[in-house]
Amino acid sequence: MTYEFLTADTIADYISANPRLAEQVDVGAITEVKEVGDGNLNLVFIVHDAHGGGVVLKQALPYVRLVGPDWPMTPDRARHEAEALQFHGRLAPALVPEVYLFDAERYILGMEDLSDHRVWRGALNDGLRHEGVAALMGEYVAAVAFGTSIFSVDPEEQKMIAARSANPELCTITEDLVFTEPYFENGRNSVLAANVKDANELAADDVMVRAMGNAKWSFMTHGEALIHADLHTGSVMVRAASGDEGPVDSAKAFDSEFAFYGPVAFDLGALWANYTIAAARATALGEDDRADWCMNLCAETWTAFEATFRASWPERRDARVFTDGFGDDLVARWHDETWVFAAAKMARRIVGLAKTKDIESLPEELREGAARGVLDVARAAVRERESGPASENYIAMASQILRATTTR
Ligand code: SR1
Ligand code: MG
């Protein structure tokens, strides 16, 4: 597959040739072209002009950037991202970046410049508290759950959209890296020597492996909604209303190239997992108060998700068998699945490929306990959800484990 890759030198010409982009940036007054792709897959450029204009250009490479050309990967993922952002943007315009252009020949997405925002994971790692983001992400997941599913879309049309949204290669990454490889080594796992025993115990945990079988089955077969499918804290941009932290006036989910029709709780579990990982970092650093704040994000996301979904429920297209009782069952099922998807997402970020800066940037002596804590929370989550699935139970359980395993 050959197509021309963007470079800092060719960006101005590319913008000039695309009127929708040229509306955002004055090409005659460009002051800065920065390559900022710190994800695992793509090239990302931010372009600024002297008048305060800006645009982001993201180009999918035909391989996984993290690994290189030895791992080929369809650049059609850029179309999935564009189409998901556009659909989600119609449902929750404030909660995703605006898309200006999708170039199907060069797999380039032109979108809103969010330079006045920052990536939430980075802010969390700097010890900052952005208030309200977790609730906004709960609202986003609920808007997607309701608005892209058969509760809002004509069922025949929904099937056509789901077919177009099938994203097999990206789903394979998740099926392998999230659900399988932490338990069946494929040459991509790694941990500190001090955590080898923890990783071996995880892989030998029959209860965990069985839970991962159930979760993977759900991921591979439950086409409930056009989910984001990679909704970690590195896929969220945040902007404080004033200063560096505090209440936010904007939060946006981006990087939705993994989007496909999948289980709603997968996105909720991804958020919970990454809140827990942020809490593990705070605990390791001796910041117990901030760890509690991070863990409480789980409740904020869930509460907002449930309230938003329930508020939409009376508007569903067909209430005949999708009764209020069914709606209650669905919400309860999603809460239960959130625990298990969170467990899957935590374990993979400790043991498998594509780890998190939250844990990896800790000094080794602290990283040992934080990694162990996250793995122990994952193994406890798949067991303890059966004893009472309230978010508060998860928070209490995880906080206690993270404190008990710290090596500070
Ligand atoms: C090979 S891609 C590795 C990971 O990066 C993305 O953010 C997804 O989480 C994926 O699993
Ligand atoms: Mg990503």
Task: Report the CATH number at residue 73.
Answer: 3.30.200.20
Measure the CA dihedral 392/396/397/398, to 10°.
100
27 lines ligand 1 (CB under 6 A): no
Cα-based distances in Å from 274 to 23, 110, 347: 37, 28, 11
230 lines ligand 1 (CB under 6 A): yes
pLDDT at 387: 61
pLDDT tens track for 239-292: 999 999 999 999 999 999 999 999 999 999 999 999 999 999 999 999 999 999
173: helix, strand or coil: helix
Nearest CA residue ID for atom 4, ligand 1:
354
- Do 242 and 158 belong together in one domain? yes
Please, which residues have CB within 8 angstroms of residue 142's CB and are 6 or more apart in sequence?
Answer: 304, 305, 306, 307, 308, 309, 312
Residue to substitute in 173, 257, 356 for testing ligand 1 pocket (most ligand atoms within 8 angstroms of CB): 173
The domain boundary, picked from 87, 111, 135, lies at 111
Asked whether 354 lines ligand 1 (CB < 6 A), one says: yes
pLDDT value at residue 390: 84
User: Residue 353 CA: which ligand 1 atom is closest?
Assistant: 3
State which residues form the domain around 283: 118-405
How many angstroms is it from 126 CA to the middle of ligand 2?
Answer: 20
Residues 130 and 198 placed together within one structural domain of the fold: yes
Q: Degrees (nearest 5) of the Cα angle 171, 44, 15?
A: 120
Q: Is residue 216 a part of any domain in this protein?
A: yes
12-16, 33-37, 112-116, 217-221 — which is least confidently predicted?
A: 33-37
Q: Which residue minimizes the CA distance to atom 5 of ligand 1?
A: 40
- Convert the pLDDT of each residue in 181-191 to its tens digit: 999 999 999 99
Residue 385 reports pLDDT greater than 90: no
Q: Helix, strand, coil proportions of the chain in percent (round to 5)?
A: 55, 15, 30
* Mean pLDDT, residues 331-337 taken together: 95
Across the chain, mean pLDDT equals 97
Q: Is the pLDDT of residue 29 over 90?
A: yes
Q: Probe ligand 1: pick from 235, 341, 353, max atoms within 8 Å of CB?
A: 353
Instruction: Say if 3 falls within a structural domain.
Output: no
Residues 67-93 have pLDDT tens digits of 889 999 999 999 999 999 999 999 999
Q: What is the CATH number of the domain that holds 192?
A: 3.90.1200.10
- 177 CA: nearest ligand 1 atom: 11
Could you tell me the CA-to-CA distances from 144 to 86, 223, 226 in Å, in that order? 12, 13, 7
Q: Which atom of ligand 1 is nearest to the CA of 235?
A: 7
**Could you tell me where the beta strands, DSSP code E, fall in 303-399?**
none
Kindly identify the ligand whose nearest atom is closest to the C-alpha of 256.
2
Is 98 found in the same domain as 52? yes
- Of 111, 137, 165, the position where a domain reaches its end is 111
Q: Specify the pLDDT at position 365.
A: 98
Q: Which amino acid is at 403?
A: R
Residues 285, 366 contacting (CB under 8 angstroms)? yes
Query: Considering only CA atoms, which residue is closest to atom 9 of ligand 1?
Result: 230
Has residue 403 got a pLDDT over 90? yes
Q: Is residue 48, in this structure, part of any structural domain at all?
A: yes
pLDDT-derived band at 100, boundaries 50, 70, 90 = very high
| 40 pocket-lining for ligand 1 (C-beta < 6 Å) | yes
Q: Which atom of ligand 1 is nearest to the CA of 39?
A: 7
Q: Residue 242 Cα, ligand 1 centroid: separation in angstroms?
A: 32
Nearest CA to ligand 1 atom 2: 40
Q: Are residues 237 and 299 in the same domain?
A: yes
Mutate to test the pocket of ligand 1, among 177, 190, 260 (most ligand atoms within 8 A of CB): 177
Residue whose structure tokens are 């040459």: 187
Taking the C-alpha atoms of 379, 380, 382 and 388 in order, what is their torsion angle to the nearest 10 degrees? -170
Clarify whether residues 356 and 318 are in a common domain.
Answer: yes
149 and 95 in a common domain: no
DSSP 238-267: EEESSSSSEEEEEEEE---TT-EEE-HHHH
Among residues 52, 79, 111, the one where a domain terminates is 111
Kindly state if the Cβ of 177 falls inside 6 Å of ligand 1: yes
Find the mean pLDDT for residues 224-251: 98
Q: What is the mean pLDDT of residues 345-362?
A: 98
Confidence grade of residue 389 (pLDDT, cut at 50, 70, 90): low
Which atom from ligand 1 is nearest to the alpha carbon of 173? 11
Distance CA 315, CA 313 (A): 5
Contacts by residues 386-391 (CB-CB < 8 Å, ≥ 24 positions apart): 389/332, 389/335, 389/336, 389/339, 391/298, 391/299, 391/302, 391/303, 391/335
Does 4 reside within a domain? no
Contact present, 114 and 254 (Cβ < 8 Å): yes
Ligand 1, atom 8, residue with closest C-alpha: 230
pLDDT value at 128 more than 80: yes
Report which ligand 1 atom has the smallest distance to the Cα of 230: 9
Q: Which atom of ligand 1 is the closest one to the Cα of 41?
A: 2
- What confidence score (pLDDT) does residue 41 get? 85
The mean pLDDT of 371-387, rounded to a whole number, is 92
**For the chain, how many structural domains are there in total?**
2
Indicate if 333 and 187 belong to the same structural domain.
Answer: yes
Nearest atom, ligand 1, residue 258 CA: 8
Question: Do residue 164 and residue 46 come from a single domain?
Answer: no
Question: Can you give the pLDDT at residue 388?
Answer: 64
66 in contact with ligand 1, CB cutoff 6 A: yes
Nearest C-alpha to atom 3 of ligand 1 is from which residue?
A: 354
Instruction: Give the ligand whose atoms come closest to the C-alpha of residue 255.
Output: 2
Q: For ligand 1, pick from 40, 174, 178, 219 the residue to mutate: most ligand atoms within 8 Å of CB.
A: 40
Q: Of 379 and 385, which is predicted with more confidence? A: 379
Residue 137 has pLDDT above 80, yes or no: yes
